[in-house]
């Protein structure tokens, strides 16, 4: 068939509007060129202002129902009610997805808090015991530093565990050093756990 005869036949054959989508795009059906009534030519004319490149690039999409009609996988064009129902279904799905994502974020935050609390409790269990610091009443120390250092254990007064203690300056320094060492060990262990 020559080009002019095909053009003449296409002008003689009626074309009709099949429907519109929710954005205002129009869908037409032309009789087939081959003469087979089962294989018609289906086209879309985009609403004025819509660029074809937007649809080709994927930034905008035609409704799935119209796409399947255009490719002949669907025999009958979709109705506006069907398009509205599908749009409402998509909105409901988006709301449910947002709720599930919010729930997952909350569960992840709770899991993170529980894990950090567990790590902190493990660090406390594994840390060395900090010595009990007794109630301290300082004596007036009139002796010089060399005299304090030269005192032997036998010369020190006996201490009862349940009574408040009178400690010398050297005793307090020794306990402070042990306490500081325990704090340093605890800090190092906690920092190792937080790095994991």
Longest CA span, the chain: 128
Residue 47's pLDDT is: 84
pLDDT in tens, 124-142: 666 655 555 555 454 555 5
Contact status, residue 161 vs residue 131, Cβ threshold 8 Å = no
pLDDT in tens, 28-82: 988 877 777 777 888 888 887 767 766 766 667 889 999 999 998 998 999 999 9
Average pLDDT, the chain: 75
**First vs last C-alpha separation in the chain:** 77
Residue 194's pLDDT is: 63
Using only C-alpha atoms, the chain has a radius of gyration, in whole angstroms, of 43
Contact status, residue 126 vs residue 186, Cβ threshold 8 Å = no
pTM equals 0.47
Q: Is the model's pLDDT at 144 over the cut of 90?
A: no
Nearest to 80 by CA among 28, 27, 16, 20: 20
Residues in contact with 38: Cβ distance below 8 Å, sequence separation at least 6, in sequence order: 32
Residue 148's pLDDT is: 46
Query: Residue ranges of the domains in the chain?
Result: 9-78, 85-126, 130-145+163-196
- Measured CA to CA, the distance from residue 55 to residue 63 in angstroms comes to 11
Task: Quickly tell me which residue has 């840390």 as its tokens.
Answer: 127
Residue 153's pLDDT is: 47
- Measured CA to CA, the distance from residue 168 to residue 194 in angstroms comes to 39
Nearest to 28 by CA among 77, 64, 68, 75: 77
């Amino acid at each position: 068939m020559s080009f002019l005869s095909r053009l003449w036949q296409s002008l003689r054959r009626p074309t009709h509007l099949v429907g519109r989508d929710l954005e205002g795009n129009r869908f037409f059906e032309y009789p087939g060129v081959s003469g087979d009534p089962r294989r018609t030519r289906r086209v879309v004319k985009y609403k004025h202002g819509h660029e074809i490149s937007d649809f080709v690039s994927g930034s905008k999409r035609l409704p799935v129902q119209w796409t399947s009609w255009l490719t002949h996988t669907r025999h009958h064009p979709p109705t506006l009610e069907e398009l509205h129902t599908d749009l409402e279904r998509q909105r409901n799905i988006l709301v449910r997805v947002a709720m599930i994502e919010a729930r997952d974020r909350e569960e992840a935050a709770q899991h993170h808090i529980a894990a950090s609390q567990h790590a902190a409790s493990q660090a406390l269990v594994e840390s060395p015991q900090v010595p009990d610091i007794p109630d301290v009443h300082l004596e007036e120390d009139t002796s010089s530093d060399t005299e304090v250092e030269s005192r032997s254990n036998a010369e020190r007064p006996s201490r009862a565990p349940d009574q408040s203690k009178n400690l010398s300056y050297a005793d307090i320094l020794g306990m402070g050093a042990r306490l500081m060492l325990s704090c340093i060990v605890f800090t190092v262990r906690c920092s190792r756990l937080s790095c994991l």
